[in-house]
């Protein structure tokens, strides 16, 4: 339900988001020494110090969350464990261990752990290192929900490849991939039920609500795919993308806030921050799905166009009223042919779909920064979340 | 994952279980007046008073749990709600309300609610009416897990009919049936996360563990189906049936005990009671799947034999070493033909599969009674659970 942030498709540069609060956060967020030395670069690309901070946060999150995940998956009965460990990238299909499987860089590794990192960064932003230390189980629970939805969506979307590896259902069959997904959802909510932290029940409610929203988003996605492109409104596609991608990023940030004892208003602002950043990611990822670099994705180039997906730039193109939209409709009505992919990309671009998506992404990031300033007024404390949000939208490594 | 107890296939009579403790429970369980007046009948069939008690308990459980279930399903976004309400039997495929949809007798109604009734009866048995009143959410959570697994298993087993209605995936498609199941699991664990009762976290852990066991059981079932009949041992089939059917019945009883503040030992005995009763049910249901009455099931007669299922009587027949087992192996190796069904039934019977299954069912019920006596020493307090266990195994209406 939503693209994996661990395999987004390109490093498409995002126009620098505007807004005075965002600028303030960018100037001062993070450790003063690191940030003072490097500072954000003028071209809107992240400063090396920001990139470095995001990498550090992701590595640290993996180090803290991996043992919890490994213990949780290790508690599964043999066949379910094997499927889950294959899916997450720790084992090959034959059960042998993937070397370096916990590292983000490792081919087939368990990925960037951006969602757990957001849980931990949000807890740290509101409650310091003590709150962060208490949120490891919650961070693992969020990651398990992410993997459960991937397992199921791969089955129903018939996706055959993820992160350069065959998807679980292609190896173990539909039924077992569905069962392994079911088991991962149970493990996620079990982690929270076992967690003695006073925020755990509220986090479990929030995570369960998020699962329902993810399901609704995935339903909307497949329902919209069945409609003619001209029948689908841009608002419908935006709402679907928020449910599919924004909801879990938002929940990750909100749950971190809950673990730091943040107020309801602050938790809501953290959720909104994550949702906006998640939507910015989706916009950038959709751009990459048409114009991006297949080497980074393990998927063929122009895959979304080939599948006639009504991604956000495409929906914007159809809604534009531009003459190129009519040409696009004609191309979308034809059976997929490789030579059409370039024409589709061109038509979407001429109808303004690419510019709209990049502008929207910048706008969403600006809104994310506003929400972040509301949730974490101290720019220094907000630095981790800021660095991760930029990482989410591929502005950093 | 496991046959629905709401649609078991026959009223196959179970030989009266033995054991002095069971006899004691049977003599004295339930309200002294009612039981004293009727008493168990000599032919091993339940006394009218026992039947009446089970019916009362099921109706009361429905009345207590239905509002919780309706509120939970009502909280789902439109499309997920519609699928869930269709699946549970409250709505037709076009969204119109099923008249009398809450009644067990209603065609397409939400069924007997045996699992919620067991949660409430176990709470009452250990903690009286106050404990029972506090366990309604937990009872609804157990029922939601049951329905989530049905939705998914119907997809992967390609079951087209349940309780005389087309299954959800045949109406809404595989993807949406899977999503609705995912949402129901989330709702189940959300109910417990929201429950302020001190037993709720332990119940959530137990229910999540049960989901994992149900998944493992369903995996084992499909894996065993792929093996040649002679490669499958009786122990494997028994273990699979316990995980698929016994686990949730056991968890229902255990969770009721948790809500009544029962000790660990008592909770374990309640779990074992439910597991044994659940396995007794499965044995009886498997007998019905070969020799039973299709009018009660909404499935064609001999469906298990037609699908070449390695049900418990069949596994016992193969394990018997009887010459009829060789004939059975030959019949199972052939493509399904209607005229073979009678020959299969006869071969299983001649190889002792039917007698073994009925004897095992009686044995399991006797063990269930022993566990019940351990969990609830006061026979009067145990009356409700006893009546429901007999109902589970179709000894009562």
Residue with tokens 């995996």: B219
pLDDT at residue B32, rounded to an integer = 35
| CB contact at 8 A, A276 and A246 | yes
Which chain B residues touch A152 with a CB distance below 8 Å?
178-179, 182
Whether residue B225 has pLDDT greater than 70:
yes
Tell me what the mean pLDDT of segment B186-202 comes to. Answer: 98
Q: What number is the ipTM of this complex?
A: 0.87
Which string of DSSP letters, residue by residue, matches A16-55? PP--HHHHHHHHH-S-HHHHHHH---TTSSPPHHHHHHHH
Is there a contact between B216 and A189 if contact means CB atoms under 8 Å apart? Answer: no
Tens-place pLDDT, residues A345-385: 999 999 999 999 999 999 999 999 999 999 999 999 999 99
Take residue B304 and report the two structure tokens written for it. 């298990």
Take residue A316 and report the two structure tokens written for it. 């914007």
Higher pLDDT, B197 or B109: B197
Average pLDDT score over chain A = 85
Tell me what the mean pLDDT of segment A208-231 comes to. Answer: 93
- Cα(B191)–Cα(B187) distance, integer angstroms: 6
User: How much of chain B, in percent, has pLDDT values that exceed 70?
Assistant: 81
From the list B75, B205, B222, which residue is nearest A175 (CB)?
B222
Question: How far does the CA of residue B47 sit from the closest CA of chain A (Å)?
Answer: 41
| CB contact at 8 A, B273 and B299 | no
From the list A80, A204, A216, which residue is nearest B80 (CB)?
A216
pLDDT at residue B43, rounded to an integer = 46
- List the single residue in B with minimal CA-CA distance to A152: B178
pLDDT level of residue A10 (50, 70, 90 thresholds): very low
Average pLDDT score over chain B = 85
End-to-end CA distance of chain B: 24
B255 CB within 8 Å of a chain A CB: no
From the list A76, A193, A202, which residue is nearest B204 (CB)?
A193
Whether residue A38 has pLDDT greater than 60:
no
- Mutation target to probe the A interface, by most A beta carbons within 10 A, among B184, B190, B240 is B190
User: Which conformational region is residue B337 in: left (phi greater than 0), alpha (psi within -120 to 50 degrees), or beta?
Assistant: beta
A158 CB within 8 Å of a chain B CB: no
Taking the CB of residue B383, how many other CB atoms lie within 10 A of it?
27
Tell me what the mean pLDDT of segment A215-222 comes to. Answer: 96
Using CA atoms, how far residue A48 sits from A36, A37, A53, A388, A396, in Å, is 11, 10, 9, 14, 9
pLDDT at residue B299, rounded to an integer = 52
Which chain B residues touch A176 with a CB distance below 8 Å?
219, 222
Q: How are beta strands B161-162 and A161-162 bridged, if at all?
A: unpaired
pLDDT level of residue B112 (50, 70, 90 thresholds): confident
Which chain A residues touch B155 with a CB distance below 8 Å?
178
pLDDT at residue A5, rounded to an integer = 57
Least confidently predicted of A182-186, A206-210, A289-293 = A289-293
Which chain A residues touch B216 with a CB distance below 8 Å?
76-77, 79-80, 183
User: How much of chain A, in percent, has pLDDT values that exceed 90?
Assistant: 66
- List the single residue in B with minimal CA-CA distance to A188: B208
Three-class SS of residue B351?
A: coil
Beta bridge partner(s), residue A165:
A162
Beta bridge partner(s), residue B165:
B162
Taking the CB of residue A321, how many other CB atoms lie within 10 A of it?
9
Whether residue A102 has pLDDT greater than 60:
no
Q: How are beta strands A165-166 and B161-162 bridged, if at all?
A: unpaired
DSSP class of A298: T
Is there a contact between B219 and A80 if contact means CB atoms under 8 Å apart? Answer: yes
Which chain A residues touch B176 with a CB distance below 8 Å?
219, 222
Which chain A residues touch B76 with a CB distance below 8 Å?
212, 216
Residues 6+ apart with CB under 8 A from A9: A285, A288, A289, A292, A293, A294, A296, A297, A299
pLDDT at residue B30, rounded to an integer = 37
Is there a contact between B193 and A193 if contact means CB atoms under 8 Å apart? Answer: yes
pLDDT at residue A58, rounded to an integer = 95
Whether residue A16 has pLDDT greater than 50:
no
From the list A80, A155, A204, which residue is nearest B189 (CB)?
A204
Whether residue B331 has pLDDT greater than 50:
yes
Please give the sequence-ordered ranges of beta strands (E in DSSP) within A163-222, or none if there are none: 165-166
Take residue A45 and report the two structure tokens written for it. 């690309």
Question: How far does the CA of residue B217 sit from the closest CA of chain A (Å)?
Answer: 10
Residues 63-122 of B with CB under 8 A from A: 75-77, 79-80
Tell me what the mean pLDDT of segment B43-47 comes to. Answer: 53
Higher pLDDT, A214 or A338: A214
| Selection from B71, B88, B51 nearest residue B180 by Cα | B88
Higher pLDDT, B1 or A141: A141
CA dihedral A354, A358, A363, A369 (to 10 degrees): 160
Tell me what the mean pLDDT of segment B131-138 comes to. Answer: 98
- Cα(B359)–Cα(B353) distance, integer angstroms: 10
- Mutation target to probe the A interface, by most A beta carbons within 10 A, among B140, B179, B223 is B179
- List the single residue in B with minimal CA-CA distance to A77: B216
- Cα(B287)–Cα(A216) distance, integer angstroms: 41
pLDDT level of residue B301 (50, 70, 90 thresholds): low
Is there a contact between A185 and B182 if contact means CB atoms under 8 Å apart? Answer: yes
3-class DSSP string for A237-299: HHHHHHHHHHHHHHHHHHHHHHHCCCCHHHHHHHHHHHHHHHHHHHHHHHHHHHHCCHHHCCC
pLDDT at residue A306, rounded to an integer = 76
Residue with tokens 């939705």: B151
- Cα(A278)–Cα(A286) distance, integer angstroms: 12
Least confidently predicted of A101-115, A318-332, B205-219 = A101-115
Handedness of CA A161, A163, A164, A166 (dihedral sign): negative
- Mutation target to probe the B interface, by most B beta carbons within 10 A, among A147, A204, A221, A227 is A204
A193 CB within 8 Å of a chain B CB: yes
CA dihedral B286, B288, B291, B295 (to 10 degrees): -140
């Amino acid at each position: 339900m939503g693209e994996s942030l661990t395999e987004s498709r390109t490093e498409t540069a995002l126009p620098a988001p505007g807004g005075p609060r965002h600028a303030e956060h960018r100037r001062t967020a993070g450790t003063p020494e690191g940030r003072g030395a490097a500072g954000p670069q003028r071209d809107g690309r992240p400063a090396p110090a920001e990139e470095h901070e995001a990498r550090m946060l992701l590595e640290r999150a993996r180090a803290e969350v991996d043992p919890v995940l490994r213990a949780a998956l290790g508690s599964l009965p043999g066949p379910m464990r094997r499927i889950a460990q294959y899916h997450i990238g720790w084992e090959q299909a034959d059960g042998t261990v993937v070397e370096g499987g916990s590292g983000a860089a490792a081919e087939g590794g368990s990925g960037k752990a951006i969602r757990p990192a957001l849980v931990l960064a949000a807890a740290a932003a509101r409650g310091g290192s003590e709150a962060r230390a208490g949120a490891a189980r919650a961070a693992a629970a969020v990651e398990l929900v992410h993997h459960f939805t991937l397992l199921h969506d791969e089955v129903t979307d018939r996706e055959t490849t993820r992160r350069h590896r065959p998807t679980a259902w292609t190896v173990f069959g539909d039924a077992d991939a569905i069962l392994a997904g079911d088991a991962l959802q149970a493990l996620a909510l079990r982690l929270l039920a076992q967690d003695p932290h006073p925020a755990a029940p509220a986090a479990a409610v929030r995570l369960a609500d998020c699962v329902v929203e993810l399901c609704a988003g995935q339903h909307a996605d497949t329902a919209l795919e069945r409609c003619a492109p001209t029948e689908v409104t841009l608002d419908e596609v935006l709402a679907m993308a928020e449910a599919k991608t924004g909801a879990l990023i938002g929940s990750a940030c909100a749950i971190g806030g809950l673990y730091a004892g943040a107020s309801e208003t602050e938790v809501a602002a953290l959720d909104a921050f994550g949702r906006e950043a998640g939507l910015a990611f989706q916009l950038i990822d959709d751009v990459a799905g048409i114009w991006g670099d297949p080497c980074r994705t393990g998927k063929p180039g122009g895959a979304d166009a080939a599948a006639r997906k009504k991604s956000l730039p495409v929906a914007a193109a159809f809604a534009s009223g531009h003459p190129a939209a009519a040409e696009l409709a004609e191309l979308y009505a034809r059976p997929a042919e490789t030579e059409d992919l370039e024409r589709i990309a061109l038509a979407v671009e001429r109808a303004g779909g690419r510019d709209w998506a990049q502008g929207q992404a910048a706008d969403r990031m600006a809104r994310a920064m506003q929400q972040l300033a509301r949730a974490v007024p101290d720019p220094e404390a907000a630095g981790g979340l800021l660095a991760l949000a930029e990482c989410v939208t591929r502005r950093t490594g």
